[in-house]
């Protein structure tokens, strides 16, 4: 692969809380073949705004490796963890290109709820794109611990709370954790997955720096549901929430933040 294909053309850092990328980035080894992976434009914005070159980035649900590809291209050291061996192999393959800098990119089979191989407060930035409950079952129930296999929504929230607690433990004070979550619909009613997961992160001590609304384009089932929207009287879900959480600094109190009354104890 030539160097001219490694970086995006005309990339600009987003400056508002609404992000819309009509065409998914296809530079380097990025691919849309892995269902549910996030656009590299999203990850690049997170890395450039909330970390520095040489920082240590972790994606504990690495999927097809979008975060690690972008970390390699932007000079960040990174670790990708996933409970699915297939995702690990896909990510390893995606990292087989010559980067423009000497950074370390590692991939490890593991569970985002059990990162005991990482020390407390050892990570500079966390990026996370969890499954949207069981909307897409990535391991087809072949991996018992796979969060996308959980059918009970309250259990899913509870397990995401375990993830949040572990991520809070490994993140350095005053550093950031970015979480992209979408919502779903059940029995003709809206299920706010994103905001319920947000609450799990607030419970363990995170505070919110930003909430970005990401416009979804070219969703796989858009045409199917668009034809039924009027007939069954519902609106298509065409957005996701990107929460930028911050871990409080040493001796910093959440009480100084005006919205702290929403912070669950």
Residue 265: is its pLDDT beyond 70? no
- For residues 168 and 112, give the distance between their C-alpha atoms in angstroms, rounded to a whole number: 12
At 145, the pLDDT band (50, 70, 90 cuts) reads confident
Instruction: Choose the CATH number for 27-262 among 3.90.950.10, 3.40.50.620, 3.10.450.50, 3.40.50.150.
Output: 3.40.50.150
Q: What integer is the mean pLDDT of 110-133?
A: 95
Torsion region of 149: left, alpha or beta (phi above 0 gives left; psi -120 to 50 gives alpha): alpha
pLDDT above 90 for 257: no
According to the model, what pLDDT value does residue 219 have? 63
Decide: 261 and 201 in contact? Cβ < 8 Å: no
Nearest of 239, 112, 101 to residue 169 by alpha carbon: 112
What pLDDT score was predicted for residue 37?
82
Query: What does the pLDDT average to over 176-204?
Result: 93
Q: 54-85: buried (b, 16+ CB within 10 Å) or exposed (e) per residue?
A: ebbbbbbbbbbbbbbbbbbbbbbbbbbbbbbe
Average pLDDT, the chain: 88
Residue 3 predicted with pLDDT over 60? no
Six token digits for residue 162? 């375990």
- Residues 39-48: tens digit of each pLDDT: 999 999 999 9
Tell me: pLDDT of 228 over 80.
Answer: no
- Structure-model confidence comparison of residues 259 and 8, the more confident one: 8
Neighbours of 105 (CB within 10 A): 21
Give the distance from CA 79 to its chain's centroid. Answer: 14
pLDDT band at 264 (very low <50, low <70, confident <90, very high): very low
pLDDT digits (tens, 9 = 90+) for 55-109: 999 999 999 999 999 999 999 999 999 999 999 999 999 999 987 678 999 999 9
What is the C-alpha radius of gyration for the chain, rounded to an integer number of angstroms? Answer: 18
Query: Helix, strand, or coil here: 71?
Result: helix
Neighbouring residues of 191: CB distance < 8 A, sequence distance ≥ 6 = 153, 183, 184, 185
Q: Are strands 77-82 and 105-109 parallel, antiparallel or unpaired?
A: parallel
Contact predicate 249/184, CB 8 Å? no
Q: What's the pLDDT at 134? A: 66
**Distance between alpha carbon 231 and the CA centroid of its chain, in Å?**
34
Model confidence over 27-67: pLDDT tens digits? 999 987 776 689 999 999 999 999 999 999 999 999 999 99
Percent of the chain with pLDDT over 90: 67
* Token output for 158: 């509870």
The pLDDT value given to residue 86: 92
- Residue 100: the pLDDT is 67
pLDDT band at 144 (very low <50, low <70, confident <90, very high): confident
Residue 220 has pLDDT above 70, yes or no: no
- Rounded distance, CA 69 to CA 40, Å? 9
């Amino acid at each position: 692969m030539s160097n001219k294909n490694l970086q995006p053309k005309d990339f600009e850092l987003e400056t508002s809380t609404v992000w819309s990328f009509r065409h998914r980035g296809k530079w380097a080894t990025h691919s849309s073949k892995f269902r549910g992976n996030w656009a590299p434009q999203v990850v690049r914005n997170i890395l450039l705004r909330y970390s520095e070159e040489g920082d240590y980035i972790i994606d504990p649900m690495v999927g097809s490796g979008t975060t690690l590809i972008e970390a390699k291209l932007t000079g960040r050291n990174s670790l990708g963890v996933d409970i699915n061996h297939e995702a690990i192999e896909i990510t390893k393959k995606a990292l087989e290109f010559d980067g423009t800098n000497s950074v370390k990119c590692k991939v490890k089979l593991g569970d985002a709820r059990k990162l005991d191989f990482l020390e407390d407060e050892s990570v500079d930035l966390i990026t996370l794109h969890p499954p949207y409950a069981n909307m897409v079952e990535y391991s087809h129930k072949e991996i018992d611990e796979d969060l996308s296999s959980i059918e009970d929504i309250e259990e899913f929230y509870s397990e995401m709370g375990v993830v949040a607690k572990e991520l809070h433990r490994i993140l350095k004070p005053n550093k950031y954790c970015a979480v992209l979550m979408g919502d779903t619909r059940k029995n003709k009613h809206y299920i706010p997955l994103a905001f319920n997961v947000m609450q799990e992160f607030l419970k363990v001590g995170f505070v919110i720096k930003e909430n970005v609304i990401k416009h979804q384009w070219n969703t796989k089932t858009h045409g199917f549901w668009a034809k039924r929207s009027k007939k069954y009287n519902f609106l298509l879900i065409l957005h996701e929430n990107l929460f930028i959480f911050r871990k409080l600094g040493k001796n910093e109190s959440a009480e100084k933040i005006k919205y702290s009354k929403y912070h669950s104890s």
